[in-house]
Amino acid sequence: MTGMKILIQSILILIAVLISTTGADEVVYAQVGDSVTLKAPPLNTQAKYVNWFLDKEGGSSLAWCNHLGGKGFISDASWKNKLELSDTSLIIRDIQQENFVTLVVTLDNQKTSSITYRLSKLTVSMDPPSPLLPGDRLSLACNTETPQHHKKPQIYWLDPKGEPIRPDKETVTKTASTQDNGTWTCVIKHDKVDKKAPISVTVVDLSPAPLQPQYTSKSTPLIIPCSIPSHISWEQIKAKGITEVHWHFFPKTSSGHISDHPVKLYSLSLGESLSWIPNQTRDLNILQDLKTGNLSLTRKQGREEDRGNYVCTMKFKNVNLNRTVEVEVLQIISSPGTNLISGQALNLTCGLGHPLPSNLQVRWSPPGQTSLPSLKSGPHPAHLTIAKVSTENGGTWACALLQDKKQLISVTIKLKIEPKLSTSMLVIICSAAVIVLLLLILVLILYRQRQRKMRHLRHQLCRCKNPKPKGFYRT
C-alpha cells in the first residue's frame, strides 16, 4: 500500500518537474500600468544562452542574455524603456495595451527547457465612479481575457477590511455605505498564483460620532466633535450636490428627556468661499478654516445648560448625513450655598442634572479632615447630607464620575465654613467691650478736668495784665 503511494507521489512530482521545465504554459494577468517579472527556466551548467521570443519559439527576439553577461533587447518603439533583465528574469515595466503578448523563453534554444508566458489583460472598474454617497449603487467589475484552451481563473473580491465576498463573483453590486469606503481588491487565483488588483472606493460621509457622551464641567473645556474624513475633499462633496450644512442643539430637560425644539447654532454658506453663519451660537466656537474638514464646536468651559444632543448635518439632494453628539455636564450643587456657618445643615449633590444611568457612579474626595460614615464603605451616594457642618468640612470637595472604575471627569467645589460664636467667646467679647467703654469714659473725664483748669489759669493772667476799672474794685 505505502509503496504504491510513494510511487504515485514520485510520478506526480516527476510530472510537475517535467511541466515546469518542458513546455510549461503560463497565463500572467496584469493591469495596464503594472510591472511583471518573468522567470527563465532554471539554468543548468551547460546552458549558455537565455532567449526571449515574441509569439513563439524562433519568433522575433525580445531579449537575450548569455553566461558572459552580454545582453540585448528588441529595438521596437512599443518596448522602449520597458524591458530589463535581472539575472535571467525578464522584467516588463508599465505594461500598455500593445504589450499583452505571448512570450517564449528558452535555454540554448532547447525545446525541452522552455516556458510560454501569455500576458493577459485584467481590468478592474467602478461604475458609477467614486465618490459615492451612502445609499448610492456601488458596482465593481473585474474582467480578464483568458487565452484560449486555458482554464478560467477563480475570481473574487475582498472588501476594504480584507474579507472575501461570497459567493465568488467577478462583480460586486450593492448599496454603498460608509463601511465600503477604502480599497477593494479583486483576486485572480490560478496555477496557485494570486494576482491582486486593488481599486479605491470613496464614500462621502462624516466621521463616526463618539460612542460615549462628551463629558464637561464648569472647569473643563467643551469639545463637540464632527469632521469630514481627510480623504474627502470639499470639491468631491460639492460635486455630489450638497445643499446644506448645519449644527442643531436639542437641549436635555432635568428629567433627562431630549427636547423636540432644536436650536440652530450655525449654518454654512455654500457660496464661492465657504463660511459659517452664526445663528444662536450659545458662545460655542467653530473653526472658520474649512479646509481641514474640522466642523467641531468648542468652548473653553462647559455650562450647566450645555446638556443635550448636538447634531451636525450635511444635506444632499437625496440623502442627509448626520452625526449626533451627546453632551453631559457634571456639577456639584451645595445647598444652602458655599458660605456656611458651622452647625448648619448641608446637602451636597454630585451629578449630571438628571438621574445617573446605572453604569455610572460618583466618587467623593472630601477635604483633608472630613470623615463621613456614608463614604466609608460601598459605592458613594450622589447626595451627601451633613446634619451639622464644622470648620473641618471647609475646603475643596471633589467629585469624580466613574464608569467601570475608570474616571470620566471630575469637578470640585470650595466650601467656606465660619466658626459659630460660643458663650465663652461671647463673654470675652462683651467684657472687652465694657473695658473699652470704661476707658473711653475715663479719657473723657480727664480731658474735661484739664480744660477747666486751663480756663481758670487764663482768667488769672488776664487780671494782672489789664488793670481793672475802678468801679469794679470793691472788696
Binder of ligand NAG out of 135, 164, 336, 419 (CB under 6 A): 336
Interface stretch with ligand NAG, choices 292-300, 305-313, 363-371, 399-407 (CB under 6 A)? 292-300
Of 125, 174, 160, 314, nearest to 236 by C-alpha is 314
45: left (phi over 0), alpha (psi -120 to 50) or beta: alpha
Residues 429-468 binding ligand NAG (CB under 6 A) are: none
Binder of ligand NAG out of 296, 331, 370, 410 (CB under 6 A): 296
Using the minimum distance from each CB to ligand NAG, give the nearer residue, 119 or 346.
Answer: 346
Residue with cell 442643539: 249
258 binds ligand NAG (CB under 6 A): no
- Measured from the CB of residue 394, what is the shortest distance to ligand NAG in angstroms? 16
Strand order through the sheet with 331-335: 331-335, 346-351, 383-386
State the Cα–Cα distance between residues 41 and 24, nearest whole angstrom.
9
Interface stretch with ligand NAG, choices 60-68, 86-94, 293-301, 465-473 (CB under 6 A)? 293-301
Of 146, 160, 236, 157, nearest to 191 by C-alpha is 146
Binder of ligand NAG out of 21, 31, 171, 227 (CB under 6 A): 227
Could you tell me how many residues of this chain bind ligand NAG (CB under 6 A)? 11
CA distances from 150 to 59, 98, 120, 424, 432 (A): 22, 21, 11, 112, 117
Q: How many CB atoms lie within 10 A of CB 278?
A: 13
DSSP per-residue letters across 227-276 = B--TT--HHHHHHTTEEEEEEEEEEB-TTSPBPSS-EEEEEEE-SSS-EE
State the Cα–Cα distance between residues 68 and 91, nearest whole angstrom.
20
Using the minimum distance from each CB to ligand NAG, give the nearer residue, 373 or 467.
Answer: 373
385 binds ligand NAG (CB under 6 A): yes
- Measured from the CB of residue 228, what is the shortest distance to ligand NAG in angstroms? 10
223 binds ligand NAG (CB under 6 A): yes
- Measured from the CB of residue 333, what is the shortest distance to ligand NAG in angstroms? 10
Using the minimum distance from each CB to ligand NAG, give the nearer residue, 202 or 296.
Answer: 296
Interface stretch with ligand NAG, choices 109-117, 183-191, 198-206, 294-302 (CB under 6 A)? 294-302
Using the minimum distance from each CB to ligand NAG, give the nearer residue, 38 or 382.
Answer: 382
Residue with cell 458663650: 423
Beta bridge partners of 187: 156, 196
Binder of ligand NAG out of 146, 298, 361, 412 (CB under 6 A): 298
What are the grid coordinates assigned to 44, written together? Answer: 543548468
230 binds ligand NAG (CB under 6 A): no
Using the minimum distance from each CB to ligand NAG, give the nearer residue, 60 or 385.
Answer: 385
- Measured from the CB of residue 287, what is the shortest distance to ligand NAG in angstroms? 6
Give me the 342-371 binding string for ligand NAG, x by CB under 6 A, dash otherwise. Answer: ---x-x------------------------
Q: How many CB atoms lie within 10 A of CB 99?
A: 19
Using the minimum distance from each CB to ligand NAG, give the nearer residue, 95 or 340.
Answer: 340
What are the two backbone dihedrals, phi and then psi, of residue 198, each rounded to the nearest 5 degrees?
A: -85, 155
Q: What angle do CA 171, 177, 179 make, to 5 degrees?
A: 90
Using the minimum distance from each CB to ligand NAG, give the nearer residue, 93 or 299.
Answer: 299
Using the minimum distance from each CB to ligand NAG, give the nearer residue, 22 or 294.
Answer: 294
Binding site for ligand NAG (CB under 6 A): 223, 227, 287, 294, 296, 298, 335-336, 345, 347, 385
